[in-house]
Structure formats: C-alpha cells, structure tokens
Structure 1
Amino acid sequence: MTNWYKVGKIVNTHGIRGEVRVISSTDFAEERYAPGVGLLIRQTADEQGTPVVVKHHRRHKNFDLLQFEGYDSINDVEAFKGSTLFVSEEQLDELDEHEYYYHEIIGCTVVTEEGETLGNVKEIFETGANDVWVVQRAGGGKDILLPYIEDVVKEIDVEEKQITVRLLEGLVDED
C-alpha cells in the first residue's frame, strides 16, 4: 500500500480555465507541482481520493495555482474546493542531513535534555525566519510553540520518533 503525504490544501478556484488556488504545506512546491507529477485529491482522510496529473503550475501572490490534465473548466474543479492534495511516498526525495519532512516530525515526542516529556509535535508553522513546532502537552494545558533553531532543538531521532530540546527562558508558560 502506498503512503500519501499532504502537500497542500485547495482553497478555491482561480479563473474559468480550471485552475485551483492552493495553500502549500511543502517546501518543495516547484518539484511537487511540476507538470507531469501525479497527486491525489481527497475531501476526507478516509476516502479513496481522485488521482490527478499536474498540467501547469505558477505562483500568484501567496498561492500556488495548479491546473490538472483533463480539468479545463471551472466546472471541472469546483468540487475540489476544500480538498487536500497529497503526494505519494515514491515521489519523496532523500533530504540532506538535518533536513526533515513534516510527516517525520509531526507525532514525535518532545523531551527536554533533563528527560522531562513535554508532549508531541502536532503541527508545524512556517514563519519567515524559521519553522515553529506546535507541541501538544502530555498532561494537557496550553500548547508549546518551539522555534526550530539550533539553540532549542538539540537532537532529532526520526527512527525513535523523539526530539530532544533545550528550553530557553520564556518558551513555556508555567500554568
């Protein structure tokens, strides 16, 4: 069975020629949306999905605009609004050392250098300077926002799904 990984969300149509407006959740938009690349569109996580092939890709403002082969009208893509785009595991490239795919980080347990379990990474936000990892606390409470910087993230073990961090002052609210 093929694993599929989220690369974006279709938020709207664009124009009348079948383009869709995508908010990307990938750092590799040029590769993921290159003409000829196969993607899967799903409305819900448990559905089979609709396989599509990218016909055209361009950037417009903060969006990626995509057109799929065989979908040449706004009427053809209207149903895709609100759907999620996925790429197959086979299309993922090897990353350099200290580079990770979001799916490798999300779900990891975050522990301090002292061995205290903080919680699990549930989401990643891209900011201008660095990514921010949202950690859902193990015992409940307010989420922790960890910047992905060298001073904070000390070790990542994707095999063991564990991340070791050094908490800088002010990163965690003591509720």
Structure 2
Amino acid sequence: MFFYKPWFIKYKNKWKNIQIKQWKNYLNFFIIKIKGFNNPEDVKILTNVKIFVDSKDIVSLNDNEYYWKDIIGCQVINLQNYNMGKIYKIIETGSHDVLEITSQKNDFFLKKKRLVPFIYKIIIKKINLKKKIIQIDWDPSF
C-alpha cells in the first residue's frame, strides 16, 4: 500500500498530492506521517477523505487476482444464466470479501441487493473482466 506513489486526496473539491514521510503498523491500523502536517490537530481536516492513486501506478496482479475497482460494476450471472445484477460494492470481512449486488429493476425475486461471498472456485466460477461478467454458483432466491 505504501509503495503506491503519489497519493491524492480530494479536499474542498480540489485534488491534492500528499506525500508520506513515514508510516507504521499499530494494532491493525496504520499511522502515517504526512509531509506538511506536524501535529494531529493539523491533520484532522483529512478525516474521512478518500485516498486515490493513479491506476497506471498500481502493480500488475497474477492470474486469479483482482483489484476491487475492476470487479465493481461487473454483471453477475449465475450458472442457470440468471442475471442477478451488478456489483455495487465489496465488503471486507476478514475471512473473505463479500460482493454487494444490486438487482435489475425487473428482478423476478424482487431483491434490491444481495450479499454473496467472494469465494473463488466455490462460488465465483469465472471472471471475465473484458466483458465485465462474473459467473457464480448461487441461487437467486437467497
């Protein structure tokens, strides 16, 4: 995470480049020192802002590894060829990620969203990022 540089934040509708001077892991959190911020009170203005990196600067992944940004927005089709909707977001749970799928307006099962565990080869059968389609083994009535 800290080898991705530079970092950008959107603050007051402007993109700002931030530079990390140092960092450490503390109790499952990261503590970072940002250049130009010298005490905790100064950095409070950055609370709850999102951090971005340019996608051209991220590392290429191995086969069967995916960035969330590539998965979000994919159509989800089950083995019976039922379109379950699109991936709206991904939830990190610790044991495995969970896909939040928003249904199509004409969804027969009238589910507005579904939560499906991202368990590769067991539930997630095939991922085609070029077509933005993920095939899963999942009953749409869940």
Shorter-chain TM band: 0.7 to 0.9
CA distance in structure 2 between the aligned counterparts of 1:82 and 1:129, rounded to whole angstroms: 25
Match of 2:118 in 1: 148
TM-superposed CA distance for 1:152, in Å, is 0.9
Q: Does 1:39 align with 2:7?
A: yes
Structure 2 counterpart SS, 1:31: coil
Relative distance call for 1:144 and 1:63 in structure 2 (3 A) is same
- The structural deviation recorded for 1:128 is 2.5
C-alpha deviation, 1:159, in angstroms: 1.0
Aligned partners of 1:42 and 1:83 also within 8 Å: yes
Within 1, Cα distance between the matches of 2:137 and 2:64? Answer: 17
CA RMSD of aligned residues (A): 1.9
In structure 1, distance between residues paired with 2:38 and 2:91 = 33
Picking from 49, 68, 75, the partner of 1:83 is 49
Q: Residue 20 of structure 2: SS of its match in structure 1? A: strand
Which structure has more RCO (C-alpha within 8 Å, separation ≥ 6)? Answer: 1
1:30 offset after TM fit, Å? 4.5
Same amino acid, percent of matched pairs: 24
After superposition, the Cα gap between the structure-2 partners of 1:43 and 1:67, relative to the gap in structure 1 and judged at 3 Å, is same
What TM-score, normalized by structure 2, do the two folds share? 0.85
CA distance in 2, matches of 1:85, 1:54: 12
Q: Compute the displacement of 1:76 (Å).
A: 2.9
Q: Secondary structure at the match of 1:103?
A: helix
Q: What SS does the corresponding residue of 1:90 show, helix, strand or coil? A: helix
Whole-Å Cα distance in 2 between the matches of residues 113 and 121 of structure 1? 17
Name stretches of at least 5 consecutive residues in structure 1 with no aligned partner: 1-28
Report deviation, 1:61. Answer: 2.0
With over 3 angstroms needed to count, the CA separation of the structure-2 counterparts of 1:124 and 1:56, relative to structure 1, is same
Counterpart mapping for 1:91-170 below 5 A: 91-139=57-105, 141-149=111-119, 150-167=121-138
- 1:13-32 alignment to 2 at 5 Å? 29-32=1-4
Q: Aligned partners of 2:118 and 2:57: how far apart in 1? A: 25
Unpaired segments ≥5 residues, structure 2: none
Q: What TM-score does the superposition give when structure 1 sets the normalisation length?
A: 0.71
